[in-house]
Chain A
Amino acid sequence: MTLLLQANTFSLFSVNDLRLIAPELILTMCGCIALVMEVILPYKKSKWTAYFALTGIALAAFSLVMLWSGNRDSLPLSGFYGMVRIDGFALLFKFIFLVAAALAIGIATRFLDIEGEQHGEYYALVLFATVGMMFLGSGYDLILLYISLELMALTFYVLVAFTKREKRSNEAAMKYFLLGAFSSGILLYGMSLLYGIAGSTNVGEIGQSVAAIVGSVKTAEAGDAIKGLRPMLLLGMIALAAGLFFKISAVPFHMWAPDAYEGAPTSVTAFLSTGSKAASFALYARIFISALGDMRADWAPLLGLVAAITIFVGNWGAVTQENSKRLLAYSSISNAGYLLLGLVAGNLYGYVGIFIYLLVYTLMNMGAFGIVISLRRRGIIGDNVDDMAGLAHKAPGMAAMMAIFMLSLGGLPLTGGFMGKYYLLLGLWQRGQVEGKASGKTWYYWLAGWAIINIVISFYYYLRFIKVMYLGDRIADDKPLSLSPALRTALAVSVLGIIIIGVYPQPIISFAQDLIRQWMH
């Protein structure tokens, strides 16, 4: 502490700034302790590490709440020379990450038992990945954002290969690593261009420079030098967009997702498809809204087009899949497309839509993968759609939950998935009206129509799960499901969350809306 105080006198950073990263600090510390615990505890008691990690997440959540409630009116808070910025956006995303991490640990304990890979490192890695995500939420500087992204990505490379005796897992990790490193490179290239143009790595300052350049193009008297920056800016934007399309598995950079999702241990797949995607999205939103906000007219059509294609390709890819993990991978591709709609909309409805949808998506995907895990037993892989045959006879409760997850993924009313999609469409439609009046652009309506028609296609494959579980009389096998208290709890939490958000979304929406409104001003 004295050291820190000393540091304060040298004004490296203010001690007060530490409050801003308290949740991250707690998680990091818990992660380190978890590593030590793994060494001390005998193999049979490795599960204690899981419970310890859950405690850590709970503490982090608590400190996050304290951070919010203590500064409700003074947001945004800025610290570390503007590198960290706590605003409504960051708080909401951090909330999603913590939910995702907790659920990921909840469904992992059982899975690792079955695999015989119950090691404490797993939970430490999950915590470190979460730290990376958390910083992606609150980072306000390109360097911090990049480092956090790499922290998250590196831990995921290890996690994907966690079942090290399995070929598929290793193969998936290799693919994921190569493509991930490649995309990071492109992303970094875009960032360096931005830095070159703006002369700063701070997102806010970049935003101002971009505004100046975009504004100067419109006015005639500005010098040629500043006008000449525009093509570079466009190149930077495209490089950033491409790098991020990789991360959120949007078309045309989606090919890695099905392979990585299929090969990775199921509990990692679940975390990868929710937490990692949400974090990449946070980065995406931060850069495109805060740094490149004035280039909306340039990137909105690009993102809109990519969203439209992503939704479609994801859906068609899923239609023919037999493996449920692959199917869910394609479904997550199409969901990335839906999430992009929120950015294209770029208004209050759209941003609230992103938050609600990401939260619900986290719950339902975790739930779905949790069910897939419960089908896995020693010697039985259980990740084909067909392995769920007759689940309604064998385990009616599980089948009902899976049915709810699937209907919610499709977006049936009374489930959270509907509210998320509804908000995204609401935002898109509103943007369409604004743009329509201002410049006569109608493609926003077409995009909304396209997105909504694609819901029908998605129901075709989501209903396949329900079909095999309920409609047939055949039962895949009569061995009991492998459940554990943690898995049960995780599933119950997911189902409850989905139904509450679906039936009475008022509290959560108005909470998010207040925070986002504050952030937008």
Chain B
Amino acid sequence: MLKFNIHILSIVTWLPVLGGIIIIALFKKDKATLIKRFATVWLGLDFVASLYLWFRYDSGLGGMQFLEDHQWIPVIGARYQMGADGVSVLLILLTTLLGVIAALSSWEYIQKREKEYYALLLFLQAAVLGVFSSMDMFLFYLFFEVSLVPMYFLVGIWGGENRLYAAIKFFLYTLVGSVVMLLGILKMYFLTQDPDVYSKITPATINLLAGNPAAAAIVNNTVTAAAHGGTFNIIYLQAMGSVLPMDVVQVLLFFAFALGFAIKVPMFPFHTWLPDAHVEAPTAGSVILAGILLKLGTYGFYRFNIPMFPAASIDEKYFGSFGVRSVMIFLAIISIIYGALAAMYFVVKKDGDVKKLVAYSSVSSMGVVMLGLFALNPNGLNGAVMQMINHGIYSAALFLLVGIIYERRHTRNVAEFGGLSHVMPGYAAVFLAMVMTAIGLPLLAVFISEFLALRGAFEANPFWAGWGTLGIILNAGYFLWLYQRMFFGTVDNPKNQKLSDLNWREWVYMTPLLILSLWIGCYPKVFMNYISKPVNAVVKQVRPAYPIPGMTTPSLPIDSRTTGQPLSPGQLPQGFTIQPH
């Protein structure tokens, strides 16, 4: 069982790859039914495996858990290190769940080249899971960039009419961000070899960021093994960032990473690839894109930008009257309001595309995440992380719902619909529930996260919260308007007369999302438990003086920086072993 604890993240990550290879190698092209069943079951298996993380993550202990550490490419200091904190655990669970749902939703929608489709879906799943569970930045970058390829194919092969354009735009646009980030990674790597920098790193910082002794021990061992030849360990890099002086280097590094992630989020003005990709992508592609891939961006901010460059993250005066944080907040607020207005435009527009509307609402919603993150206090960050999860739930659900109606009518034009609640009562009810979630009705998931994020923003600066709230009001406006236009009134369009309601398969994949929305809305504490400790550590890292009730910095008995020796296995808590170097 303990062995399992060490390898679980690898199992969850690589299981889909194995499934993809099985599909490619063993299944015949024309056995579509078999392939789709197999893929769904396999993704279900992965979800079950990831449930282990849910049950075994010790939220009392906090920090990075399920650690795995192997030698990989010592010449450049890259190691195969896996680890997940509470935030990663929730995101991994969201990913595996949406993976099953995406596969289920494709059964009817995908009518050509099924074999390639499900294999790519599995590969995409693996790449994203790898991003969330890497504890080594080189490994992270590998997964981060490789995830582009399956998505390129998903949009490019099974997409709509303009799919070629959308696919290449998606690929190149996000690639720009990640190659710039690669330069930042190079610089960070060389900084870990610079004695002027690493000699300032205190064990307390590493302990704070690692969160528990086992994770801190892995960091120490990595650094000892690398012998200052450079390392990519994420916790060590985070600790190193906090000793960097607040100068042009740190600001450039911040923006190098921020560009990569902001394009993924996407933040205004880097959002233009998103509506194209969404409109053209097949339903499952949209589900994964909105539900998971966008989270890579915000997760990047949470995991890298903020803890790694704390001085830049909180800076408000570097450029004179404004600073790095002001830029991020400004862009977040613009994203919130611009996204909402653009979405509203697609309700009013004559041939408004529902999918485009949901895509722009994502821009707005991810803006709330960014606002919460850069509020830089526990409420803001908690809200932001919860909003990531919640957005994953409701936007995925909305894309699924749009996909369901598209399968029946082959159009997504708002003007084509009306009075659907008479024809498809079940569908209308589910849609209503999700729209209510999206606009943040109390007792539903998004209320909790938006409330927390805005409360955090309010603590930081009431005006920020004010602008954010304006966006949320607009949000409610266009979603209700959309609902009214699609579902109320009379069935004017004869084509809508005989639409069938949700079938069993659609109910199966909508139900968990409905339950989750209600669960998080009514009793978020279960989820908050997972994230509060890691989030507090990040806040503490950025603002050491910020009072966080009940938080103690975990301490480690000894430290390799003072002794020069790696920790021996006897000094580790039970159940953790250290790989030989």
Contacts and interface: CB of A to CB of B under 8 A. Distances in A.
A456 B168 contact: no
B183 A467 contact: no
Contacts of B76: 422, 426, 509
A505 interface: yes
Contacts of B141: 413
Contact of B179 (A430, A433, A455): A455
Interface in A126-156: none
Contacts of B153: 470-471
Interface of B (DSSP majority class): helix
A456 B175 contact: yes
A456 B145 contact: no
Interface in A467-509: 467, 470-471, 473, 504-506, 509
B198 to A, nearest CB: 15
Interface stretch (B37-45, B67-75, B212-220): B67-75
Given A426-B76, A433-B190, A506-B72, A452 B157 contact: no
A312 interface: no
B28 interface: no
Contacts of A510: 74-75
A467 B168 contact: yes
Nearest to B158: A471
Contact of A470 (B112, B142, B157, B190): B157
Interface string B62-87: 00000000001111100000000000
Interface in A393-441: 407, 412-414, 422, 425-426, 429-430, 433
B146 A412 contact: yes
B142 A414 contact: yes
Interface residues of B, number: 32
A460 interface: yes
Interface string B140-153: 01100110010011
B13 to A, nearest CB: 14
Nearest to A454: B179
B16 to A, nearest CB: 15
A506 B145 contact: no
A463 interface: yes
Contacts of B278: none
A473 B161 CA distance: 13
Nearest to B141: A413
B180 interface: yes
A316 to B, nearest CB: 15
Given A452-B180, A467-B164, A471-B156, A413 B187 contact: no
B61 interface: no
B342 interface: no
A83 B292 CA distance: 61
A459 interface: yes
A453 B73 contact: no
A412 B172 CA distance: 12
Contact of B146 (A414, A455, A463): A414
B232 to A, nearest CB: 12
Contacts of A471: 153, 156-157, 163-164, 167
Contacts of A467: 156, 164, 167-168
A413 B146 CA distance: 6
B291 to A, nearest CB: 24
B181 to A, nearest CB: 10
B145 A412 contact: yes
A426 B142 contact: no
A460 B156 contact: no
B182 interface: yes
Given A455-B175, A455-B179, A413 B145 contact: yes
Q: Which of B149, B164, B186, B187 has its CB near the most chain A CB atoms (within 10 A)?
A: B186
Contacts, number: 77
Contacts of A473: 112
B548 interface: no
A452 B76 CA distance: 19
B72 A456 contact: no
Interface in B182-205: 182-183, 186-187, 189-190
Nearest to A453: B179
A252 interface: no
B473 interface: no
Contact of B190 (A430, A459, A460, A509): A430
Contacts of B180: 449, 452-453
Given A414-B146, A471-B164, A452 B179 contact: yes
A452 B164 contact: no
Contacts of B73: 504-506, 509
Contacts of B318: none
B176 interface: yes
Contacts of B74: 506, 510
A456 B190 CA distance: 24
Contacts of A448: 183, 186
A399 to B, nearest CB: 10
Interface in B400-431: none
A518 interface: no
A201 interface: no
Contact of A456 (B75, B156, B179, B187): B179
B544 to A, nearest CB: 30
Interface string A251-275: 0000000000000000000000000
B272 to A, nearest CB: 16
Contacts of A78: none
Given A449-B183, A463-B168, A509-B75, A413 B156 contact: no
A513 interface: yes
A156 B444 CA distance: 73
A471 B159 CA distance: 10
A473 B73 CA distance: 41
B172 A459 contact: yes
Contacts of A453: 176, 179-180
B115 to A, nearest CB: 9
B175 A506 contact: no
Contacts of A392: 116
Contacts of B167: 467, 471
Nearest to B179: A452
Contacts of A505: 73
Nearest to B142: A413
Contacts of A422: 76, 182
Nearest to B168: A463
B172 A456 contact: yes
Nearest to B176: A456
B149 A412 contact: yes
B568 to A, nearest CB: 26
A467 B190 CA distance: 37
B173 to A, nearest CB: 9
Q: Which of B180, B182, B187, B189 has its CB near the most chain A CB atoms (within 10 A)?
A: B182
A412 B150 CA distance: 13
A460 B75 CA distance: 31
A81 B316 CA distance: 68
B171 interface: yes
A455 B72 CA distance: 26
Contacts of B163: 471
A474 to B, nearest CB: 12
22 contacts: A412-B149, A413-B142, A413-B145, A414-B146, A425-B183, A429-B186, A429-B187, A430-B190, A449-B183, A456-B176, A459-B172, A459-B175, A460-B168, A463-B152, A467-B156, A467-B168, A471-B164, A471-B167, A504-B72, A504-B73, A506-B72, A509-B73
Interface of B: 72-76, 112, 116, 141-142, 145-146, 149, 152-153, 156-157, 163-164, 167-168, 171-172, 175-176, 179-180, 182-183, 186-187, 189-190
Given A473-B112, A505-B73, A510-B74, 13 more contacts: A407-B149, A412-B149, A414-B142, A414-B146, A429-B190, A430-B190, A448-B186, A449-B183, A460-B168, A460-B172, A471-B157, A506-B73, A509-B76
Interface of A: 392, 407, 412-414, 422, 425-426, 429-430, 433, 448-449, 452-453, 455-456, 459-460, 463, 467, 470-471, 473, 504-506, 509-510, 513
